[in-house]
Amino acid sequence: MQQDYLEITGLTVSFDGFVAVDGVDLSVLPGDLRFLIGPNGAGKTTLIDAVSGLVPATGSVRYGGHELTGRKVHRIARLGVGRTFQTATVFEELTVLQNLDIAAGHRRGPLTLLRRRKGVPEEVEQVLETIGLTELVDAPAGVLAHGQKQWLEIGMVLVQDARLLMLDEPVAGMSAEEKEETGRLLRRIGADRTVVVVEHDMDFMRSFADSVTVLHAGKVLAEGSVGEVQADPRVQEVYLGPGRPLAGRGRDGARGGFLVLSMTDVEVGYGRTSVIHGVTVEVPADAVVAVMGHNGAGKTTLLRAAVGLLPARSGRVLLDGEDVTGIPPHQRVRRGLAYVPQGQQSFGQLTTLENLQVVADTRPHGKGLLDEALDLFPALKDLLARRAGLLSGGQRQQLAIARALITQPRMLILDEPTEGIQPSVVAEIEEAIRALARRGGLSVLLVEQHVGFALDAANHYYVLTSGRVTAEGRGGADSVTDVRSAMAI
Ligand SMILES: Nc1ncnc2c1ncn2[C@@H]1O[C@H](COP(=O)(O)OP(=O)(O)OP(=O)(O)O)[C@@H](O)[C@H]1O
Ligand SMILES: [Mg+2]
């Protein structure tokens, strides 16, 4: 047990000459909840990949008295090393129990797996308890809330008896309550295990980290307590940004102006279930409007109805004053609507530049628009020749927003634009959105979990609760309390 800690020395990973992890030394003891932070593309995910054997690396990774480098993925897993991925990877059509069973599979013979199960084995029962999904054991994973899926994924690592857990952005896209719950879960499992958490959510880090390592350009830039790392000017420069407190500017509201998008009494759902019940949302010209609410409140469904991916069962959707309720998505796009769904979608086989060019080529003055988009996301300039499929999570998200901007939309619809993006770039995106809206010609409708960001960027907000608008008002920091109390119901 004494050797039950992680010790990495001189770890290096290169991809065709590009060094993504560059001589990293890192030690983590059990009971020390370690956060690993750093800019998009710093090498955090690659480091986890290297420890878990998914990419070849040089240097040394020792855990529990074993050298891990050079071993196969399943052998490393058998030595008690588990990890989760930046995007959840549960089997949606299988139940919670079946997901856990499959994960635990290697510890049982194939015969036991095939045999019809009677009752739930002790170790699975315990894990269900730990991740708080006991009640949902027979529910298909697909119907779980976003947070619950992440917990299931953690459970899938736990049933493998992992003693070293590496979690890649576990709270991305979670509501405040789910984050809190996850923090407590990490505390519980971290008490006697070695846990490394990659996160961009700084509030979450402040609440739950025991210690922090900052990675930058593949190297360890700083290490210490939360306080030490936050106070480090180098960390502020490359990662945190200038730390702008909520400005409290108060918005003029931009209401009463011409409406670019208006959804009136809209009812939307899947199959027989209704998710959105008579919602009215208005986006005036040159305004930024934010929709907030818990996971499962129907935010993404509402956006899908705005885009036309889901038909409105009743109510009307107007774009630039024209009724588009029955009009398919591509025709709405032609009328100036752009949509960036949650989860960083681009053409993985094309390079970053090609992904941008595909869009720019369809526009007059496309080259100028492309350059402008790159100025908004300067980190992409170094990545132009890289295939989009190889970009880090945050890099891909920036590319997706840049692509949307090149289409010069009148109405830009963003689903959780800050998810997976480093704090200083979150601030830049907010600035960019506001600058574009101020310049005129662009309205934005965004869905966000990040209440501070959303209110600071928005002229107007709506809070959605169980498919209904339960609060709305002016953007700006003054509204934070109102929004939080509306969401607490
Ligand atoms: N197979 C690959 N070939 C070339 N470059 C790669 C490959 N995989 C990753 N990279 C590059 O390595 C760098 C590190 O990526 P990584 O995914 O580890 O970043 P990260 O720190 O996890 O970032 P984020 O916070 O955005 O998730 C990035 O610049 C990425 O584009
Ligand atoms: Mg990553």
Distance 423 CA to ligand 1 centre (A): 17
Distance 166 CA to ligand 2 centre (A): 12
Ligand 1 nearest-atom number relative to CA 41: 19
Percentage of the chain beyond pLDDT 70 is: 93
- Helix (H) / strand (E) element for 458: namely none
Flag the least confident range among 254-258, 277-281, 286-290, 381-385.
Answer: 254-258
Asked if the model's pLDDT at residue 104 lies above 90, the reply is: no
Asked if the model's pLDDT at residue 428 lies above 90, the reply is: no
Asked if the model's pLDDT at residue 1 lies above 60, the reply is: no
- Give the pLDDT confidence of 171-221 residue by residue, as tens digits: 988 888 899 999 999 999 999 999 999 999 999 999 999 999 999 999 999
Sorted by where each starts, the structural domains of the chain and their CATH numbers stand as: 6-239 (3.40.50.300), 259-336+409-488 (3.40.50.300)
Sequence-ordered alpha helix ranges (H) in 232-324: 233-235, 299-307
Q: 128 with 138: CB under 8 angstroms?
A: no
Q: Quick one: tokens of 334?
A: 């032609």
- Give the pLDDT confidence of 339-365 residue by residue, as tens digits: 998 876 778 889 999 999 999 998 888
Residue of the CA atom closest to atom 17 of ligand 1: 392
DSSP one-letter code for 169? S
The predicted pLDDT at position 248 comes to 36
Query: Any idea what the Cα angle at residue 437 is, between residues 315 and 355, rounded to 5°?
Result: 90
Q: What's at 171, amino acid-wise? A: V
Asked if the model's pLDDT at residue 261 lies above 70, the reply is: yes
Res. 76 pLDDT band, cuts 50 70 90: very high
The predicted pLDDT at position 253 comes to 46
Residue of the CA atom closest to atom 8 of ligand 1: 390
Residue of the CA atom closest to atom 1 of ligand 1: 390
Asked if the model's pLDDT at residue 73 lies above 70, the reply is: yes
The predicted pLDDT at position 477 comes to 86
Asked if the model's pLDDT at residue 57 lies above 80, the reply is: yes
The predicted pLDDT at position 52 comes to 96
Res. 107 pLDDT band, cuts 50 70 90: low
- Give the pLDDT confidence of 220-231 residue by residue, as tens digits: 999 999 999 999
The preferred substitution site among 12, 18, 87, 221 for testing ligand 1, maximizing ligand atoms within 8 Å of CB, is: 18
The preferred substitution site among 391, 392, 398, 422 for testing ligand 1, maximizing ligand atoms within 8 Å of CB, is: 392
Strands (E), 225-336: 259-270, 273-284, 288-293, 314-319, 322-323
Asked if the model's pLDDT at residue 264 lies above 90, the reply is: yes
Q: What is the pTM of this model?
A: 0.83
Asked if the model's pLDDT at residue 89 lies above 50, the reply is: yes
Res. 252 pLDDT band, cuts 50 70 90: very low
Res. 288 pLDDT band, cuts 50 70 90: very high
Burial class (CB in 10 A: 0-12, 13-18, 19+), 51: buried
The predicted pLDDT at position 418 comes to 87
Instruction: Give the Cα separation of 290 and 287 in Å (integer).
Output: 10
* 96 SS3 class: helix
The predicted pLDDT at position 451 comes to 87
Distance 373 CA to ligand 2 centre (A): 22
Residue of the CA atom closest to atom 6 of ligand 1: 390
Q: From the CB of residue 228, how many other CB atoms can be counted at a distance below 10 Å?
A: 13
Residues 6 or more apart whose Cβ sits within 8 Å of residue 11 = 21, 23, 24, 25, 26, 47, 50, 51, 57, 58, 59, 60, 61, 69
Ligand 1 nearest-atom number relative to CA 86: 27
Per-chain mean pLDDT for the chain: 89
The predicted pLDDT at position 153 comes to 94
Output the CA torsion sign for 382, 388, 392, 393: positive
Res. 438 pLDDT band, cuts 50 70 90: confident
Alpha-carbon distances, residue 487 vs 66, 301, 416, 449 (angstroms): 48, 18, 17, 11
Residues having CB closer than 6 A to ligand 1 are: 15, 18, 20, 38, 40-46, 386, 390-395, 420
Residue of the CA atom closest to atom 12 of ligand 1: 20
Residues 6 or more apart whose Cβ sits within 8 Å of residue 195 = 28, 33, 34, 164, 165, 166, 167, 186, 189
Q: Quick one: tokens of 83?
A: 């990890």
